[in-house]
Every structure is written in structure tokens, then in C-alpha cells.
Amino acid sequence: MTETAVLLADNGLNGGATAPLSPADQATEPENNALAEEKIDREQLLIISTDLILSLHRRISGRRFRGNKHDSVKLGYARALVAALQCHSSIIKDLEQEEIKARLGRIEAALEIRDQERKYLEQVEREQAKRRRL
């Protein structure tokens, strides 16, 4: 997004000064690196979606709304960003569910071993009690 687009999207707030690009706007920068090395977590997704919501809210909540030629482009990128956020959130949720299932499996296996050990110890105690009676 160019400074002009940011200025127009700002709707004259803050004296018309260009604000620093938000993470949501940075994601649409042409020179951004599409091959991110780090994964985006839920907190970062929330920050990005919050920035997008605030940006759109600032745009429509001025004293008087005036559409401009850049609105359709910005809304198109906003829709694409929302779709990417939804997809990414779904993937994170699926990964977390798989992790929870794996942890639950390990817990259940540990409880099964513990139960088997308890049964074995009870059997040994019964056998020892029988021997003492004899």
C-alpha cells in the first residue's frame, strides 16, 4: 500500500498525516516476503484482524463518509486478508486439536500402565497374604 493510499484511507484523521502501516496493511505490501520463516500464532492473528477492523472503522466513521477510487481496491485486499485469516485460524485449530488428541492418548496410556501396575501389586499382596496364612 502506498503512502497515498494510506493517507486516503485515513480519511483526514490526525491532520491528514500518514500513519505507520499496520500489520494488516503491511501484509499487502508488494515487497513483503511471501515465504515467512516464522509461524503466526493466534495472538498475532488477533492483532492483524484488530488492525483491519480499526482501519475499516476509521474509514467509515468520519464526520462525513466520501467514497473514493481506492475503496474497492482496499476492500478487495481486506476480503482476501479475512479469508486468509479464517483459513490460518482453522489450520491452527486443527493442529491444536491434533496436539490435544496426542496428549490425551499419552495420558490414557500412562493411566493404563498405572492401572496395570496397581492390579499387579494387588495380586502380589494377595499371594503374599495367602502364603502368610499357610
Q: Supply the pLDDT for residue 90.
A: 92
Res. 134 pLDDT band, cuts 50 70 90: confident
Structure confidence at residue 6 (pLDDT): 44
* Cβ partners under 8 Å of residue 104, min gap 6: none
Domain boundaries, the chain: 3-133
Cβ–Cβ < 8 Å for 75, 67: no
Query: For position 2, what pLDDT does the model report?
Result: 43
Q: Give the DSSP per-residue string, 41-107.
A: -HHHHHHHHHHHHHHHHHHHSSSS----TTHHHHHHHHHHHHHHHHHHHHHHHHHHHHHHHHHHHHH
* Residue 116 pLDDT exceeds 90: yes
Q: Is the pLDDT of residue 128 over 90?
A: yes
pLDDT tens-digit map of 15-27: 545 555 565 555 5
What mean pLDDT, rounded, does the chain reach?
A: 80
Residue burial 89-113, b: 16+ Cβ < 10 Å; e: rest: eeeeeeeeeeeeeeeeeeeeeeeee
- Separation CA 2–CA 18 (nearest Å): 10
Matching residue, cell 476480503: 79
Q: Range with the lowest mean pLDDT among 4-18, 20-34, 113-127?
A: 4-18
